[in-house]
């Protein structure tokens, strides 16, 4: 494959019409599913990797977990890792080229290993940042849910008091104006209670969907 066809991840994401943040997350999770090669410290991707990124986004949008996405990718694509050193090894060496000394080969392997360690540390740091962000979002959502539950309890208490007052008013005798006022307040509170229950169900559904996608 021609050298100019290999692309940085940002350029690949732009050509594939995929947000760069999403592309970087997909690359961290499914690097071996993306045809790529390393040039020095740079990691380059083959053009066909754009189709793999698009498929990953589609599978996540359908509600698949990371494990399900990985299985689908390996079933649908020929997932290989192309290394720059392997590509150069396929190029015939000049006839007068001498083999590299053993020490140089060891240093080259050590440098490659160190670059791999650095890449892994960066990926771990990024995953920790993502995990921290998810934890903060979950904490905010739990706080919202707790506030809804507190308000729900307050509404229930008020409803109970109003129902007792209404019962006492009925037992005391016909007081149409007070009874109508109590009924109006009771109706408003019942509507508010229905709204709060709906908000809580929607929040619970959102939390479950988000946790499921992160898994």
CATH number at residue 78: 1.10.1660.10
- Half-sphere exposure for 82 (CA within 13 Å, toward CB): 19
- State the residue range of the domain holding 154: 141-214
Q: Same structural domain for residues 157 and 88?
A: no
Query: Is the pLDDT assigned to residue 27 strictly greater than 70?
Result: yes
Query: Is the pLDDT assigned to residue 79 strictly greater than 60?
Result: no
pTM above 0.75, yes or no: no
- Which of 28-32, 39-43, 78-82, 105-109 bottoms out in mean pLDDT, i.e. has the lowest? 78-82
Query: Is the pLDDT assigned to residue 151 strictly greater than 60?
Result: yes
Q: Same structural domain for residues 145 and 196?
A: yes
Determine the Cα–Cα distance for residues 35 and 47; give it in Å rounded to an integer: 9
Which of 98, 126, 158 corresponds to the end of one domain?
98
- Tell whether 67 is covered by a domain: yes
Query: Is the pLDDT assigned to residue 82 strictly greater than 80?
Result: no
- Tell whether 125 is covered by a domain: no
191 neighbors 184 (Cβ within 8 angstroms): no
For the chain, what is the mean pLDDT?
77
- Tell whether 133 is covered by a domain: no
Give the mean pLDDT of 11-39.
90
Determine the Cα–Cα distance for residues 62 and 56; give it in Å rounded to an integer: 10
Which of 68, 98, 128 corresponds to the end of one domain?
98
Query: Is the pLDDT assigned to residue 60 strictly greater than 90?
Result: yes
Q: Same structural domain for residues 87 and 147?
A: no
- Tell whether 193 is covered by a domain: yes
Q: Same structural domain for residues 65 and 8?
A: yes
Taking only the tens place, the pLDDT of each residue in 91-149 is 344 444 455 555 667 777 777 777 777 777 777 877 777 777 768 877 887 887 788 78
Q: Same structural domain for residues 148 and 85?
A: no
Q: Same structural domain for residues 83 and 147?
A: no
- Which of 41-45, 54-58, 93-97, 142-146 bottoms out in mean pLDDT, i.e. has the lowest? 93-97
Residue of higher predicted confidence among 19 and 3: 19
- Tell whether 7 is covered by a domain: yes
Question: What is the domain count for the chain?
Answer: 2
- Tell whether 145 is covered by a domain: yes
Confidence category of residue 26, pLDDT binned at 50, 70, 90 = very high
How confident is the model at residue 117, as a pLDDT? 78
Q: Same structural domain for residues 151 and 74?
A: no
From residue 138, alpha-carbon distances to 61, 118, 129, 207 in Å are 20, 30, 14, 8
- Tell whether 119 is covered by a domain: no
Share of the chain above pLDDT 90, in %: 18
How confident is the model at residue 97, as a pLDDT? 45
DSSP, residue by residue, the chain: --GGG-B-HHHHHHHTT--HHHHHHHHHHSGGGS-EEEETTEEEE-TTHHHHHHHHHHHHHTT--HHHHHHHHHHHS------HHHHHHTSPPPTTPPPPPHHHHHHHHHHHHHHHHHHHHHHHHHHHHHHHHHHHHHHHHHHHHHHHHHHHHHHHHHHHHHHHHHHHHHHH---HHHHHHHHHHHHHHHHHHHHHHHHHHHHHHHHHHHHHHH-
- State residue 7 phi and psi, 5-degree precision: -125, 145
- Tell whether 77 is covered by a domain: yes
Give the mean pLDDT of 40-45.
88
């Amino acid at each position: 494959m021609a050298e100019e066809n290999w692309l940085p991840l940002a350029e690949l994401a732009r050509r594939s019409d995929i947000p760069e943040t999403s592309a970087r997350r997909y690359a961290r999770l499914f690097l071996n599913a993306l045809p790529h090669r390393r040039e020095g410290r740079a990691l380059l991707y083959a053009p066909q990797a754009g189709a793999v990124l698009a498929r990953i986004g589609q599978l996540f949008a359908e509600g698949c977990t990371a494990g399900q996405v990985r299985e689908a990718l390996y079933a649908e694509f020929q997932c290989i890792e192309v290394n720059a050193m392997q590509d150069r090894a396929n190029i015939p060496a000049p006839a007068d080229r001498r083999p590299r000394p053993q020490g140089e080969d060891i240093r080259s392997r050590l440098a490659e290993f160190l670059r791999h360690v650095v890449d892994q540390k960066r990926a771990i740091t990024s995953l920790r940042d993502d995990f921290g962000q998810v934890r903060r979002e979950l904490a905010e959502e739990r706080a919202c849910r707790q506030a809804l539950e507190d308000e729900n309890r307050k509404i229930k208490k008020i409803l109970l008091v109003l129902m007792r007052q209404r019962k006492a008013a009925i037992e005391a005798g016909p007081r149409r104006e007070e009874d109508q006022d109590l009924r109006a307040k009771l109706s408003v509170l019942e509507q508010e209670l229905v709204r709060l229950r709906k908000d809580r169900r929607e929040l619970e559904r959102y939390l479950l969907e988000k946790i499921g996608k992160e898994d």
